Amino acid sequence: MKKGLFITFEGADGCGKTTQLKLAAEYLQKKGEIVLVTREPGAKGLGEKLRDILLNYDGVVSDRCEAFLFLADRAQHIDTIVTPAVESGKIVLCDRHIDSTVAYQGYGRGQDIEQINKLNMLATGNKKPDLTIVFDVDVETSMARVGAEKDRMESAGREFFNRVRFGYLEIAKQESERVRVLDATKSIEDVQKDVIKLIDSLF
């Protein structure tokens, strides 16, 4: 059986990646591919419970605990959902993955980047996506898109999101083969065209 693909969508909150992920799924389904849409944190099952803690718990969450909770969610997700789907030939489109932890907990919260890279590899069993698309927008635009109702992560402030954005651009510089950056301030239609070009290049 032909192996599938694992493609991740990344960027700061409000960058528009979730909309683009849905459009990419429709595009691939029309081409006859079997697509699985999933996300981190919070895929089906245990992931939903971890997501609730990560986004809604209103007590103190230490920075290291936060990193480990995202990593725990990732390990469960890769083992029980992503790997079986890729091995059965599906195209897995995932909203956030390893690079979110580097950008948010590493660059955003100031946790050691090298350690996070190692822990990410422990969580995934040393696997990386076939392609990662980073949707890049300035912080003003992304915060305006998020609006007034913010979850625990979105409430972290402008300086935090500047660091997250810088983090994503650094990751893309270091892994330019896997990680591709798109200008997400363009119209939905124009960004979609750019996404399709990148995805088509994998076939």
HSE-CB for 37 with a 13 A CA cutoff: 13
HSE value, Cβ hemisphere, 13 Å, CA-based, for 29: 10
Are 89 and 1 in contact by the 8 Å Cβ rule? The answer is yes
Q: Which regions of 16-175 does DSSP assign to beta strands (E)?
A: 35-39, 91-95, 131-136
Taking residue 37's Cβ as centre, other Cβ atoms within 10 Å add up to 16
> Residues in the site for ligand TYD, rule: CB under 6 A?
13, 18, 40-41, 55, 70, 95-96, 100-101, 104-105, 153-154
First to last CA, the chain: 16
- Beta carbon nearer to ligand TYD, 142 or 192: 142
CB of 203 to ligand TYD, least distance (A): 26
Phi and psi at 92, nearest 5°, equal -95, 120
The token pair at 8 is 């991740």
Q: DSSP code of 156?
A: G
CB 185 within 8 A of CB 137: yes
Edge-to-edge strands, sheet with 5-10: 35-39, 91-95, 5-10, 131-136, 179-183
Q: Which is it for strands 179-183 and 131-136: parallel, antiparallel or unpaired?
A: parallel
| Pick 6 or 70: Cβ nearer ligand TYD | 70
Give the nearest distance from C-beta 55 to ligand TYD in angstroms.
6
